[in-house]
Amino acid sequence: MINVAIMGYGTIGSGVFEMIVQNQDILKDKIGDDIRVKKILDLRNFPGTPVEHLIVHDITDITEDAEIDIVVETMGGTNPAFAFVKECLLKGKHAATSNKALVAAHGTELLEVARENHVNFFFEASVGGGIPIIRALVDSYAGEAIEEITGIMNGTTNFILTKMDEEGEDFREALNEAQDLGYAERNPDADIEGQDTCRKIAILASLATGKEVDYEYIYTEGITNIDKTDFEYAQKMGTSIKLFGSALIEDDKLFAYVCPVMIGKPHPLYSVRDVYNGILVKGNMVGETMLYGSGAGKFPTASAVVADIISIIKHKDENDKMILSQTLTKSYLPKEKVGKESKWVTFYTLLAEINIAK
């Protein structure tokens, strides 16, 4: 019996619980053991629901429970997620998270703590929801010199831009529609200002370079200045406007940015519409590849967390040998941010050059 604890029973956390219940036969088949959610940490009580008896309110109920092998962190934010995950790792529990803010801010330290305690810290769900981009970078493209990662990695902004492009809506109309459909939060700044994409490209750039990339040094521009006129011009040029997060790696330099770009039909990311995500990876041997799918949402994101749980169980006796936990190392970063506001940025001149030399 594998015992899992879920910290944070919101959209993703409940998705993980429901997937473990619904696909339990498949999971048992794959891991050769039963898996159950033993405890759920949340401030709420969920009376009258199937999880009522699993709820705990005190983190020590999880950290001090020797039966719990794996914790899932789906709280979001860094406080108290960071302290809770760190404590679990210190207590010898493996962890899987969907929390890009946590990984972008504290990923290196948590990987170090995990390694020291012979457990794993996995975060497939933190970027691209159900798109297996982390595993692709860590396993499938492990032998590649990665030259570029460029993605549409935020479903909210892609939905808004698609509505503006295809139905001629203006930014406010499209944002309101996204909020009505539950695709955008009441306070949508993290999405529309590009901060969500910024944290994701920082995580991917870190994995591609093997160096910690501080997201604060990445030039980040959202979509709030895009208006109807921009789309009229874009359409006349046979292009569409997408919010890209991109990392370009040349020799020992990393150029990373988040900003809206115009791309034409031949671009592999052109057809990524609506709330979908697409992430293009260019390696020196494999050439251009692209992964596409639901970048957010309850079950696609839960699926990535469950994939991490399965990996943890498959490899539980060789934790400290996983390359994932040896990849990120501290790096020297430039002292000053470079970059000024510009609607159509000329990338190389505005970007911070981040030195990734060893």
Residues that bind its own copies (CB under 8 A): 15, 19, 22-23, 26-27, 29-30, 124, 130-132, 135-136, 139-145, 210, 268, 270-271, 283-294, 297, 299-300, 302-304, 306-307, 309-311, 314-315, 317-318, 321-323
The rounded distance, in Å, linking the Cα atoms of 228 and 113 is 49
Round to whole Å and give the CA distance between 269 and 220. Answer: 19
Residue number, 166 or 227, with CB nearest to its own copies: 166
Q: Give the Cα separation of 99 and 247 in Å (integer).
A: 20
Interior/surface letters 21-50, b for 16+ CB within 10 angstroms, e for the rest: eeeeeebeeebeeebebbbbbbeeeeeeee
Secondary structure, 3-state, 277-294? EEEEEEECCCEEEEEEEE
Least distance in angstroms from the C-beta of 211 to its own copies? 12
CB of 303 to its own copies, least distance (A): 4
Q: Which is nearer to its own copies, 246 or 303 (CB)?
A: 303
Torsion angle defined by CA atoms of residues 169, 173, 179 and 181, in that order, rounded to the nearest 10 degrees? -50
What does the DSSP assignment read for 65-116? -TTEEEEEE---SSTTHHHHHHHHHHTT-EEEE--HHHHHHHHHHHHHHHHH
CB of 13 to its own copies, least distance (A): 14
Chain centroid, CA 168 distance in Å: 30
Report, in this order, helix, strand and coil percent for the chain, each rounded to 5.
Answer: 40, 25, 35
Residues 336 and 304: their CA atoms lie apart, in Å, by 36
Q: What is the helix (H) or strand (E) element at residue 135, kind and residue range?
A: helix 133-135
Residue among 200, 242, 282, 298 flagged as catalytic: 200
Nearer to its own copies, 86 or 316 (CB): 316
335 assigned to active site: no
| Residue 46 or 292 having the CB closest to its own copies | 292
Closer to its own copies by CB, 142 or 181: give it. 142
> Which helix (H) or strand (E) segment is 239 a member of?
strand 239-250
Nearest residue (CB) to its own copies, 146 versus 164: 146
Closest to its own copies by CB, 11 or 224: 11
Output the six-digit token pair for 356. Answer: 């990734």
Residue 293, sorted as left (phi over 0), alpha (psi -120 to 50) or beta, turns out to be: left
Q: How far is the CB of 334 from its own copies (least distance, A)?
A: 23
DSSP string covering 156-170, please? HHHHHHHHHHHH---
User: Closest distance between its own copies and the C-beta of residue 157, in Å?
Assistant: 20
**Least distance between its own copies and beta carbon 58 (Å):** 29
Least spacing, CB of residue 139 vs its own copies, in Å: 6
Under 8 Å between Cβ of 55 and 42: yes
Which residues carry out catalysis? 200
